[in-house]
Amino acid sequence: MSESTTKRVTSADVARLAGVSRATVSYVLNDTPRQTISAGTRTRVLDAAARLGYSPSAAARTLRTGRSDVVLCLLPDWPIGPEVGSMLGRLSSALTRHGLTLVVHPGNREERPMTELWKAITPAAVIAYTEFSEADITAMRSAGVAIVEAVSRRKGRSLAVPQELVGRRQAEHLTQAGHTRLGFAYPDDERVRFFAEPRLAGVRAACAGLRLPTPVGLTVPLDPAAAAEAVRRWRATGVTAVCAYNDEVALAVLAGVRGEGLTVPDDLAVIGVDDIPPARLADPPLTTVTTDQTVVGAHLAATVVAAISGRAAPDLPAADIVRVVRRVSA
């Protein structure tokens, strides 16, 4: 409607309309414990707030309490797939239900130090998909910011999803199909080591447990020719099945096998991770390992809430949510 200066509606406005003091408004709206408010004024306040469309200023609240209700999720600079995307959606819903607001910051290399960001926002918690320096961690902790490390080398901190388990499931599926000499298709991207290493470790562990030879790891670029080269080397070493870091790498392997004039799964079996939409559209349809992002998102939310209130984090029922989608490629 009219010109610029429509002032923000504050709790003072609500108080005036309800005919009470500002403090009373605050007590009512926050359900402050140990404060007794009569039912009459309570509804009067609630009414006034609704009528005015009042919503408190996050800035003022944060300033006063020293802590905001924002949960900051720091993404790494590697490309995020639809998996992460949908998980973030779930996470956001779950956190909303706890009165928290999820906010995601995409990583970018030329970033000013992270310090700036969290010092500026003062979030209630930080979900880190990237590694912090020890200095940052202690600083944040002493500033009262809860930290949830979604990926971390440090022992004891729980990963959101145990990536070892993913690799293990891949290997199990292949060995149960009779394969004894496995390969691992490593991604051609330094930035995803965090994820790739533990998956490879899982495959190794599974092989070791069955007294099978160590899997043969090769880097597979997302390029048919380069992938074909990798396929040749695997076949030369007697590998009959490969676990790929993810579905994209798996598709590259598929392309490589085609390029060699061979067929999947007869000449080489392939299994991926993620179940991205193209997986079921591939030739042949890609067998892959998927994790239930709904559960992961909910669990991550629970972990965040626990971390904020200082309680212990719940366990993730990891074994139940990582499962093989059986198609044709393996």
Question: Rule CB under 7 A: which residues touch DNA?
Answer: 7-8, 10-12, 20-24, 26-27, 29-30, 32, 35-38, 40-41, 54, 56-57, 60-61, 63-66
Specify the residue, 14 or 88, whose C-beta has the smaller distance to a second copy: 88
Residue 30 binds which one of a second copy, DNA, none, with CB within 5 to 8 A depending on kind?
A: DNA
Using CB under 8 A as the binding rule, whether residue 248 contacts a second copy is answered as: yes
Q: Segment 36-95, which members bind a second copy (CB under 8 A)?
A: 53, 55-60, 62-63, 66, 68, 77, 79-82, 85-86, 88-93
Binding a second copy by CB under 8 A: which of 143, 208, 210, 319? 143
Do 29 and 11 form a contact (C-beta atoms < 8 A)? yes
90-93 contacts at long range (C-beta below 8 A, 24 or more positions apart): 90/293, 90/294, 90/296, 90/297, 90/298, 90/301, 91/297, 91/300, 91/301, 93/297
CB of 308 to DNA, least distance (A): 14
Do 236 and 260 form a contact (C-beta atoms < 8 A)? no
Binding a second copy by CB under 8 A: which of 223, 233, 238, 263? 223
Residue 93 binds which one of a second copy, DNA, none, with CB within 5 to 8 A depending on kind?
A: a second copy
Q: Which of 329, 293, 330 is nearest to 89 (CA)?
A: 293
CB of 54 to DNA, least distance (A): 7
Residue 86 binds which one of DNA, a second copy, none, with CB within 5 to 8 A depending on kind?
A: a second copy
Contacts of 258 (CB under 8 A, 6+ apart): 224
Specify the residue, 6 or 108, whose C-beta has the smaller distance to DNA: 6
CB of 246 to DNA, least distance (A): 43
The rounded distance, in Å, linking the Cα atoms of 143 and 14 is 33
Helix 193-209 / helix 163-176 crossing angle, nearest 10 deg: 40
Per-residue b/e over 276-303, b at no fewer than 16 CB within 10 Å?
Answer: beebeebeeebbbbbbbbebbbbbbbbb
Residue 243 binds which one of DNA, a second copy, none, with CB within 5 to 8 A depending on kind?
A: none
Helix 114-121 / helix 134-142 crossing angle, nearest 10 deg: 10
Q: Segment 272-311, which members bind a second copy (CB under 8 A)?
A: 276-278, 280-283, 285, 310
Binding a second copy by CB under 8 A: which of 251, 264, 273, 296? 251
Do 203 and 182 form a contact (C-beta atoms < 8 A)? yes
The rounded distance, in Å, linking the Cα atoms of 189 and 196 is 10
CB of 174 to DNA, least distance (A): 55
Q: How many residues bind a second copy (CB under 8 A)?
A: 75
Q: Which of 280, 278, 320 is nearest to 299 (CA)?
A: 320
Q: Which of 223, 323, 194, 324 is nearest to 270 (CA)?
A: 324
Specify the residue, 39 or 59, whose C-beta has the smaller distance to a second copy: 59
Contacts of 34 (CB under 8 A, 6+ apart): none
CB of 146 to DNA, least distance (A): 17
Specify the residue, 193 or 311, whose C-beta has the smaller distance to a second copy: 311
CB of 60 to DNA, least distance (A): 3
